């Protein structure tokens, strides 16, 4: 596996950096890995490395670059969480989706890429993975505990490629009524698969943090890898 930082031209002008983990196997399908509210921190890099070890070319774009490039926050630090929520308030989702589309194009054109690229995101990234399903031509999309999806179901008619939603049963940021709204709104879409993890809190797959729950995280990862293999190869 090789690791490097790459620069991606933004569709709206400017450029941003991204962490790229490449497996030793070739050719490779790609994953645009979408950050939590905590930025491209050690946890996101470790997650990228894990998917690269599974054979995928993994790119983690710095989506906060317009606000503050290079943000890396610690999920165990209260002050870092306060900063994360400040950044989230200032973050422009539409620009973020455009940056993800640029990241998708970058991976598709990358040497040794098969051209098949999906997205996979957590928390804020889970919401953005949903938008990648509704607003981009990514080949497959995976959302972990995506926030505010219930408020954006009008876009669901635009989903053209397979989407998984991993939902935490006791998610403190996605209420039971919001989860019911999502399930009701998407139940008739054959492209969407929803998995609910009863008793789990937000962040249950955040490896190396106090929120991590091994059994649920491993089940979700197994489902994700099977889904990616089916749709990306």
**Which tokens sit at 230?**
């089916």
The catalytic residue among 62, 99, 150, 202 is 202
The catalytic residue among 62, 139, 171, 231 is 171
SS3 sequence, the chain?
CEEEEEEEECCCCCEEEEEEEECCCCCEEEEEEECECCECCHHHHHHHHHHHHCCCEEEEECCCCCCCCCCECCCCCHHHHHHHHHHHHHCCHHHHHHHHHHHHHHHHCCCCEEEEEEEEEECHHHHHHHHHHHHCCCCCEEEECCCCHHHHHHHHHHCCCCEEEEEECCCCCCCHHHHHHHHHHHCCCCCEEEEEECCCCCCCCCCCCCCCCHHHHHHHHHHHHHHHHHHCC
Place of tokens 């804020």: 124
166 is annotated as an active-site residue: no
50 is annotated as an active-site residue: no
Q: Around Cβ 200, how many Cβ atoms within 10 Å?
A: 22
Catalytic residues, by residue number, are: 171, 202
């Amino acid at each position: 596996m090789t690791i490097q930082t790459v620069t991606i031209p933004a569709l709206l002008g400017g450029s941003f950096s991204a962490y790229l983990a490449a497996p030793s196997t070739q050719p490779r399908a790609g994953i645009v890995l979408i950050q939590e509210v905590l930025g491209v921190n050690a946890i996101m890099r470790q997650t990228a490395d894990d998917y690269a070890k599974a054979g995928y070319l993994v790119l983690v774009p710095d989506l906060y670059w317009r606000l503050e490039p290079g943000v890396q926050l610690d999920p165990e630090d209260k002050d870092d969480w306060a900063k994360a929520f400040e950044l989230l308030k200032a973050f422009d989702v539409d620009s973020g989706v455009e940056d993800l589309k640029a990241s998708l194009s970058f991976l598709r054109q990358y040497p040794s890429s098969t051209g098949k690229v999906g997205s996979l995101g957590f928390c804020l990234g889970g919401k953005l993975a949903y938008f990648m399903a509704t607003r981009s031509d990514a080949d497959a999309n995976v959302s972990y505990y995506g926030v505010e999806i219930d408020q954006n179901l009008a876009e669901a008619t635009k989903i053209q490629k397979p989407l998984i939603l991993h939902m935490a049963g006791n998610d403190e940021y996605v209420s039971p009524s919001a989860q019911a709204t999502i399930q009701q709104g998407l139940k008739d879409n054959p492209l969407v698969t929803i998995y609910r993890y009863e008793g789990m809190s937000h962040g249950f797959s955040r490896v190396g943090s106090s929120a991590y729950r091994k059994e649920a995280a491993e089940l979700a990862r197994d489902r994700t890898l099977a889904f990616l293999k089916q749709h990306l190869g």
